[in-house]
Structures are given as structure tokens and as C-alpha cells.
Structure 1
Amino acid sequence: MDYLLPLSPSLLALFLAFTTRRVILSLFCAVLLGSFILHDYAPIESVIAVYKDGIFNQLKGSNAQIIIVITIISGFIYLLESSKAMTAFSQSITRYVSTPAKLKTGTWLSGIAIFFTDSGNSLILGPIYRPLYDKMKICREKIALIIDSTSSPVCVLIPVISWGVYSMGLMEKAYTNVGLEKDGLALFKEVWLFQLYPLLTLIGLFFIIVFGVNLGKMKQAQQDCETGKSEYLAESDITTNDSVNPLIDMNAVQQYGAKTVALALSSLALCMAALFFYFTRGVSGSAEAKLVGSEIRTALAVSYSVASVITILALSRFGIRKMSASADSFFQGMGKITSILCILLLAWTLSDILKALDTGAVIATMLQQLNFPIWLLASTIFIIGAFLSIATGSSWGTFALLIPIVAPIAYSLDASIILCFAAALSGGLFGDHCSPISDTTVLSSMSSGVNHINHVETQMPYAMTTAFFTFIGFILASITGSNLTVLIMASAMGSFYFLYSKSQQGKLTHENNLS
């Protein structure tokens, strides 16, 4: 019974997430239960404390800065997406495509290039590349795989977009709550090399393209495509980014859209670089000065604000859209992030409650009594995160559920908090990548013109292969602590795909013969 109370908020959050698939509801109920426990089950005091001592208490300092930064970034992303300029930017890349190998590589590179949006990646690339895949007789399931594998797996690795700011906020809060001090960017940099699932997904995708690997039902999908037996969605049923907007001049988009995106991204990069230089050398005059969290967030907020203004002016100057319409899109984009901000606030509140209940130490004590091997901790967190994210279809929700819990557990067991953070991120990403109810999975299949279940079934063998090497990688990293773990596992995965492709040499498809 002594163990049950400190564990109950975490267990309730996980149980509700699995059963209801409602992350906000799950987190709120867990916070409410934790508040009841901390206030001796006094109903009025407990409910008041949820807001007064919990949620409202998060709206200050670095937390408030993170919320503002994420909101501005969301506005900038929607501004570009809604202007159709990203579509023109991507279309400019397709002129270099002439063979199946170049086509698949071009899709892979385009997916990586559109790094600041996961759902936008699918909506932009699907309509552009789909006709080329049909022309070269490469199954649409392959384009869905490539698009899906370069959406969220890329976003989670970028610190200067909403994904990075969100995860940094969760990690910094959890790290601080165990009595340690380190800003979010420093934590992100340490975690980056151990984000095995997204890194191996991107590297593995390159091997899949180079070696022409068709696993499981992908092989049948390619054969059906070559023989004309594929049953793809009708054009009227395909979700695309091509809807006509009367406020946008599509002729101007075709002519100046790519230039607008290039101008927006270059101004963003230039402003960010200038501010980072100012904060490190301009203020102190020393090359040894280090960025602190508030300066990083200030640089991001100012840079995205400046880039947004320049984008609005450019869209107007090139005749693509009026400034008033662009400004409206920017503010609409800011509003689209509301649910994410709710998740973030509740996750921070739950983190404080778990700290007050000493949940991490309780779980650590239980694991020690069970003689649980510490070298299995990160891999276990990855598996839990994978199941949770598949059930909820939400990587961000999984991050919010797991990160506040794993930090105190790792700290109490003297395990690597960095590795456990990476495992939570990797596990959360797995479901976002391949869960049937994940938004990026749905958008990837629809924009590619593929039956949704066909996409899930053809992608799953690749995702499971990556998950296997990720699981082994976390065990290896836990034992050795080596920063080279991702390279070792990437080499092993590359060898697997190479040997598999060799075993299929007598069964080469049209796609591979033309590579």
C-alpha cells in the first residue's frame, strides 16, 4: 500500500492513455488524483490546487518563454504551408529526377529538407511525387513509406522547431526536478546521439533506397504496380494540399513560391546566427561564453518573428497573397497549437506532483528489490513508449507521459538520465511513425493515394526492423555508454539490408532493375 499511492497518478495516466487514447484527459486525471493525494483528499482544496499551485504555477519563467516560442513557430509554419509556397519549392526539386533511384533519393532528401513540419511534409510531397512514381512504375506504398519516415523522425531531431522546443521544455523540467541543473539545449545535444529510432529510421531508409529492399507486403505491392493490379485511391478521395484558395494567386506561387521559401528560411537562419553570435560574443566579448536557456529562447522567438514578417512582406511583394491574409494565417497557425500547449502545461504539472510524491524513488526501490538489471532500463522505456504511442497515436503525448516519470527513476537507480530521455523520445516516435491512428501515418497514406491499411501493413516490417536494432542499441549504450552506438547499429542494419537484397537478387523487380 505504501508503494501504491505515489505510483497511482502515473499508473492512471498510462491506463487512461491506453484505454481512451485521450492524452489531455489522461494527464488531467493524473494531475487531479495527485492533487487529491497531496491534499489529504479534500475535494475543494485539491481542485483549487490543480490550478493555483499546479497549472498557473507553470506559466512563469522559462516555461512561459517556451510557450511563446512554440506559438510563434507554429504561426510561421502555418504561414508557409497555407501560402502554397512550400509546394512550389518542392516542385523545383523534381526537375532533377530521371530514374527510380534518383526519384526515391529525391523524395528522401525533400522529406529531410522540409524539416519544420511533420504533417505538412506529407501534404506537400505526396501530390508532387505521386505522378512520377506512377510514371516510373514504383508502387505508391513506397512513396508513403519514404514520406512517413522523413516526417516526424526528422522533426524530433531539430532543436530550433516546435518539436525540439517542446521536448527541451519537458526534459529541462524533469531534470531540474531531480535536483540537477542543465539548460534544455545542452540536454538536447547530449540526447541527440542516442535518439536511436529516428536516426536509424533515416539511415535505414537510405539503405532501403540504395539496395532496393522490399520487405513483407511491399514486395507484393511493387509486383502489383508493375503488372497493373494495384488498386489505388481515386483522385477525388486523395487528401492533398492542392485546394484552391481565392486569396492566393497560384500563378505567382508557381513563379515566386520557391524564392519566397528560400528567402524565409535564409532570413531565419541569418537572424538566428546573428543572435547566437551576439549572445556568445557580443555581450561578453569572449569566445568562451555559453548560451543560457533564456538567450536561446529569445533568439528563437526573435528569429521566427523576423522571418514571419519578411515572409508576409515577400508574399505581398511577389503578388502571392495580401499582407492582411498572410497575417491572418500566421495568427491561425498560433491558434492551432492550443492542444499541444495544454499537454505541455499538464505534463509540467504532473512532473511537479511526481516530485512531491517521490514517485521516482519508489519505482527505483521496487526495481532494486526485484533485481531489475539497470542495463535493460532504457530498452524497457523504449518498449513502453512504443506501445503507448501506438495506442494513442501521439508522440508528443507519449513524451509528456514518460519524460516526467523516467528522470527520477533513472536518477534513483544511478542510471543514465540522458539515455532514458532518448529512449522515451524514441519510443514515442515509433507510434507516431506507424500507428494506424497517428495523424502523420494517415496523411502519408492519403496524400500518396494509398489505402491506409495497405500503408500501415507495408510500412510495419521496416518500422519493426528499426525498432529491433533500436532495442539492441539501447542495451549496448547502457552497457558501454558509447556515443558511437548509433553508428554501430546503423552498420548492422545496413549489413542486414545488404544481405537481404543479395538474397533477393534472383527476384529483382522492375524498380530495382532501373535503379
Structure 2
Amino acid sequence: MSDSNGRTYLIAKGHWINLFITFLLIVLGILFAGSIPEQNGHFGFWSVLPPLVAIVLAFWTREVISALFVGIVLGGVIAGELNVVQEFLIPSIGTEGFALILLVYLWSLGGLIGMWTRTGGAERFAEWASHHLVRGRKSAKFFTWMMGLVFHQGGTISTVLTGATVRPIADKHNVSHEELSYMVDSTASPAATIIPFNVWPIYIAGLVAGTIPLFETTQDGIAFFFQALPFNFYGIFALLMTLLFAWELLPWLPGRQMREAIRRVKETGQKDRDRAEPMSSPELTKMNIPETYQPGLVDFFGPIGTLLGVAILPYIITFYFMGQTEEPTLLIAEAFVLAVLSGMFIALTKGMSLKTVMEGFVDGCKGVSIGAIVLALAVSLKEVAETVGTAKYVVALAGQAIDPLVLPAMLMGLCMFIAFSAGTSWGTYAVVFPVAMPLAWAVLPDPFFITLCFGAVVGGSVFGDQCSPISDTTILSSLATGCDLMDHVRSQVPLALTAAILSGLLYTFTVFLFV
């Protein structure tokens, strides 16, 4: 059996394994649904199984869609809710949040990239940037790092803006999609927690306000967030490692898959491995520019300028002129829709037919359909995890350890696990902060110790969100850069885990020396 046939056999075997497990869970659910006792808002060890099984199957079989569905079905069995469509899928997909993701990050982003395949705007920008800003692989990756800091609003918006901006340049300069997706993902939420001119301080301050004497008001929480910035060790290490990775200055590169990706693209120019299944389809990359159309920089900077102007300027104005006590204005949906409309208007005024413009837009929307399915199942699994009390059980279990020396590192590890399992940093903050801050205060009511614990929770949650295959930022990083989702996860985990281990050791060392 050839290697190619062997891989095909293993992938097909993975599909059958997932289908068999799903069938087995349905049979068990019919027999035992509702018989697992609930206690204190969770089901004990059973609460961890839905996201854990989904993640293990996704890594094992490299097939995400069926793995996510297995996790949802398992959650339905545990919670005694066998109608997972009615109980989990419809409530999750029918929310305003998912509608925003579908409209903005899938249809608008996909449609905009699809139009660029007709106008040549992104390709023209890549040529211009290559001539003026970028000289090769290293500078292309450094440009990606810089864009990640510029678009530091965090989460989905950062991954989409950075990925859409840098991908044509990275592709032109022979950067593998594993490298690109890691850099986009690792400069999204980590940058948002280190350059906090965004909504993150306000959100977290609202969670910690009133939990301990240090945080009597929301304003106290915001001030403490800025005070704790130097002690968000994971965010700092993540950005530093990404910078070193960009310039290829790491003395040793953790992770066999990333090393193979770099070797592959340098030797063959192949940006994805054989049999990879990129999150974006050929509709998003194949150029189909009409012969009579002349591509120009305006085709790229027009939509991008509209997007950034509408999304960022109101935010900056409200943040700096209305004060940090009020939530800044973020017009994300409006920005993306107007960017698409501006791209259409520019193409039409330059002579492109309406039919060609709409064909490009529709092709782009079709190109992100796989991402839409994965995201729908991922948000449904998050609903399952909340229903069965995954985070509540893990917090209750970890709360038994109260040694001050290990508490910051332990809180970081706890948040890493919860965020990785649930695929959300903000959801992890909502569960952990109200428990972690009183716990830390009870263990040692010292402001510096609280600062370390605070930074550990912030950084650990970002790590789990960044690395989880069911996180929207992970999925959208793969989508925006055209990378296979599981290739992105597998290649970035060793790098991110290295930063996390260094952070945990530094927390423990700092407590030992100064507390």
C-alpha cells in the first residue's frame, strides 16, 4: 500500500470511527439519558467529556466536523437532552452573535476576498508592498507581526483584518500557511491583552468588580488591568516568540510539524501539506480578472480603508475623548458591510459589469462555507459545555489547591484547560475571575500576589482560546490565511505551549522571590 493510499485509508477510517461513536452515543442516550446525577451545576467528571472527546477525535482523525458533532451528541446524552438540534444547535446558531459572525466574518470577508479575485486588488497590493515594504520571507512575516499589533482589538476582528491584509504578501514571498496562521493567531488576543486600548479592560473589570477589597468599583478593575500588564507573562512571551519566529531567530524551533512546513515551503514552494483541507476554497485564491479591467491599489485600499476607518476611528474617538469609564463605539458589522459595498462601487466605476462583481462576491461567500459549518458546530459545543457545567466542575476541582507558591501557575493552567475545552477566553474569564480573585485573596491578601494571579488568569485564558480547535479565533485564523484547521492547531501548539511553560515557571519563581 502506497503512502498516499495509506493516508486515504486512515482518513476514511477516522470518518467511520466518528460515525460509529456517534451511533453508539445515540443508542446509549436512548437507554440512559437523564440518569447521570447533577450536583452544584455540573455532572462531575462527565461534564468534561463533551469538549474533551471532540478535541481528541479532531486531533486523532483530523476531521473536525464529525468530531464536533460527536461532542454535541455526548453532551445531550449527559444532560438528558437527546434532541440536540432543538436544545443546542438552533439556540446557538439562532443567536445575534452567530448572525454577526456569519454576516461579517464569513459572508463579508469571503465576499470581499472573492471580489479581489475579479479586481486583482489584493494581488496588486502584494506587488506594491513587496516592492516598498517587504523583501523576502522574513520581512513578510515581520510585516504580519506588525499588522497583528496594529489590529490589536483582539479576537475575531484581529484575525480577520490581519489575515486578509497579509495573506497575498505572504503567499507571494513563500510563507507557508502554517507559519502565517500561527502568526495571525498569536498576535490577536495576546496583543489585545498587552496593548489594551480596546474593550478587554472594561469587560474584565466588570467581572472582578466587588470580588475583593482591591476591586470595589469597575474603575478600580480597569486601573488594576493596566497595572497588571507587566505580569501578563503569557501575552508578553507569545508576542516575543512570534517576533523571533518572524525573523527566524529561535535557536530551536519547537514542533515537528512547523519545522516540516518551513522545510516544505522552502524546498518546494508548497504552502500546504499534501492532502491538506484548507478552510478557504479555490474560489478565494484563483484569479479571474476580466481582460478589460485594470487592477489598481484603489481596489485594495478603498475597501480596507473604509473598513478601518469605520471600525477604528469611532473607537479611538470615543475611547480617548469620552474616557475609559464608557464602552468605546465599535462599528464592526457596519465597517465590513460598507467595505464590501465600497469595493463593489469602485469596481463598477472602473468599468466592471455588475454581473462580474456579483459573481466574485458569491464565489467568495461559497469559499467560506466550510468555515461556516465548523463555526456553527463550535458555538453549539460551547452551549453544550455551559449546559453540562464543564467550567464549573474544573474550577471546583482545582479550587482545592491553595499553596501560594503554585497558585498563580495553577490558575494559569486551569484557565488554559477550560479555555481550550470551551474555545473561549471571555467565557473562561466570566467563570474563573469571580472565583479566582476571592480564592487568591483568601490564600494571601497581598496586592502583588493578587496582581500575579490576575495576570495568570488573563494569559492562561488567551492560550486556551488561541490553541483550541473549537475557538472562533482559531477557526477564523485558518480561514483568513487559507490553512487547514488541524494543521494550524498542531503546528502552533508547541510554540504556544513553550510560551505558556515559561510563563508558569516565571510566576512560580516570582512568588518564591518576592511574596
> Could you say which TM-score interval applies, normalised by the shorter chain?
0.5 to 0.7
Task: Check the 8 A contact 1:197/1:470 in 2, yes or no.
Answer: yes
Which segment is superposed worse, 80-89 or 113-122? 113-122
What pairs up with 1:399-478 in 2 under 5 angstroms?
Answer: 399=425, 406-407=432-433, 409-410=435-436, 413-414=439-440, 416=453, 419-430=456-467, 465-475=498-508
| Corresponding residue of 2:102 | 71
| Corresponding residue of 2:289 | 249
| Corresponding residue of 2:343 | 311
Relative to structure 1, the CA distance from residue 252 to residue 89 in structure 2 (aligned partners, 3 Å threshold; closer, same or farther) is: farther
Deviation (angstroms), 1:374: 1.9
* Partner deviation per Cα, 1:62-121 (whole Å, 9 max, x = no partner): x62x3343233213321232233333322321114786xx65123320464375437657
Relative to structure 1, the CA distance from residue 194 to residue 267 in structure 2 (aligned partners, 3 Å threshold; closer, same or farther) is: farther
Deviation (angstroms), 1:170: 11
Deviation (angstroms), 1:151: 1.9
Relative to structure 1, the CA distance from residue 77 to residue 413 in structure 2 (aligned partners, 3 Å threshold; closer, same or farther) is: same
Relative to structure 1, the CA distance from residue 337 to residue 232 in structure 2 (aligned partners, 3 Å threshold; closer, same or farther) is: closer
| Corresponding residue of 1:30 | 75
What pairs up with 1:280-291 in 2 under 5 angstroms?
Answer: 287-288=322-323, 290-291=325-326
| Corresponding residue of 1:151 | 184
| Corresponding residue of 2:359 | 325
The CA distance in 1 between the partners of 2:362 and 2:76, in whole Å, is 35
Aligned CA-pair RMSD: 6.0
Is 1:384 the counterpart of 2:417? The answer is yes
Relative to structure 1, the CA distance from residue 128 to residue 380 in structure 2 (aligned partners, 3 Å threshold; closer, same or farther) is: same
Is 1:375 the counterpart of 2:408? The answer is yes
* Partner deviation per Cα, 1:41-72 (whole Å, 9 max, x = no partner): xx68x979936xx974996xxx62x3343233
Deviation (angstroms), 1:290: 4.4
Relative to structure 1, the CA distance from residue 428 to residue 410 in structure 2 (aligned partners, 3 Å threshold; closer, same or farther) is: same
2:408 partner amino acid: W
Percent identity, aligned pairs only? 8
Is 1:105 the counterpart of 2:139? The answer is yes
Task: Check the 8 A contact 2:139/2:246 in 1, yes or no.
Answer: yes
Is 1:337 the counterpart of 2:372? The answer is yes
The CA distance in 2 between the partners of 1:313 and 1:419, in whole Å, is 47
Relative to structure 1, the CA distance from residue 334 to residue 422 in structure 2 (aligned partners, 3 Å threshold; closer, same or farther) is: same
Relative to structure 1, the CA distance from residue 313 to residue 175 in structure 2 (aligned partners, 3 Å threshold; closer, same or farther) is: farther
Which segment is superposed worse, 150-159 or 164-173? 164-173
Relative to structure 1, the CA distance from residue 269 to residue 477 in structure 2 (aligned partners, 3 Å threshold; closer, same or farther) is: farther
| Aligned match for 2:334, one of 302, 309, 321 | 302
1:104 partner amino acid: K
Deviation (angstroms), 1:123: 5.5
Is 1:6 the counterpart of 2:42? The answer is yes
* Partner deviation per Cα, 1:188-242 (whole Å, 9 max, x = no partner): x8798776556534433434565844526899989999xx9x5665999798988
The CA distance in 2 between the partners of 1:319 and 1:20, in whole Å, is 50
* Partner deviation per Cα, 1:317-336 (whole Å, 9 max, x = no partner): 33567442355357557864
Deviation (angstroms), 1:423: 0.6
Relative to structure 1, the CA distance from residue 94 to residue 70 in structure 2 (aligned partners, 3 Å threshold; closer, same or farther) is: same
Deviation (angstroms), 1:303: 2.5
1:469 partner amino acid: L
The CA distance in 2 between the partners of 1:350 and 1:155, in whole Å, is 24
Task: Check the 8 A contact 1:77/1:116 in 2, yes or no.
Answer: no
Task: Check the 8 A contact 1:111/1:121 in 2, yes or no.
Answer: no
| Aligned match for 1:129, one of 173, 178, 184 | 173
The CA distance in 1 between the partners of 2:207 and 2:373, in whole Å, is 22
Deviation (angstroms), 1:309: 1.6
| Corresponding residue of 1:80 | 112
The CA distance in 2 between the partners of 1:32 and 1:111, in whole Å, is 44
Aligned length: 423
Task: Check the 8 A contact 1:403/1:421 in 2, yes or no.
Answer: yes
Is 1:267 the counterpart of 2:306? The answer is yes
Relative to structure 1, the CA distance from residue 376 to residue 92 in structure 2 (aligned partners, 3 Å threshold; closer, same or farther) is: same
TM-score w.r.t. structure 1 length?
A: 0.58
Is 1:215 the counterpart of 2:248? The answer is no
1:466 partner amino acid: A
Q: Unaligned regions of 5+ residues in structure 2, if any?
A: 1-36, 59-66, 149-157, 441-449
Relative to structure 1, the CA distance from residue 70 to residue 144 in structure 2 (aligned partners, 3 Å threshold; closer, same or farther) is: closer
Q: Unaligned regions of 5+ residues in structure 1, if any?
A: 37-42, 131-139, 390-395, 483-515
Task: Check the 8 A contact 2:92/2:383 in 1, yes or no.
Answer: no
Deviation (angstroms), 1:16: 1.4
SS at structure 1 position matched to 2:346: helix
The CA distance in 2 between the partners of 1:94 and 1:277, in whole Å, is 30
Task: Check the 8 A contact 1:252/1:318 in 2, yes or no.
Answer: no
2:503 partner amino acid: T
| Corresponding residue of 1:397 | 423
SS at structure 1 position matched to 2:100: helix
The CA distance in 1 between the partners of 2:309 and 2:353, in whole Å, is 24
Relative to structure 1, the CA distance from residue 305 to residue 104 in structure 2 (aligned partners, 3 Å threshold; closer, same or farther) is: same
2:111 partner amino acid: L
TM-score w.r.t. structure 2 length?
A: 0.58
| Aligned match for 1:206, one of 236, 243, 253 | 243
* Partner deviation per Cα, 1:394-451 (whole Å, 9 max, x = no partner): xx8365985665446525624756642431221342466xxxx99968998989xxxx
2:113 partner amino acid: E
The CA distance in 2 between the partners of 1:174 and 1:55, in whole Å, is 28
SS at structure 1 position matched to 2:42: helix
1:200 partner amino acid: F
1:344 partner amino acid: V
1:305 partner amino acid: V
Deviation (angstroms), 1:467: 3.8
Is 1:19 the counterpart of 2:56? The answer is yes
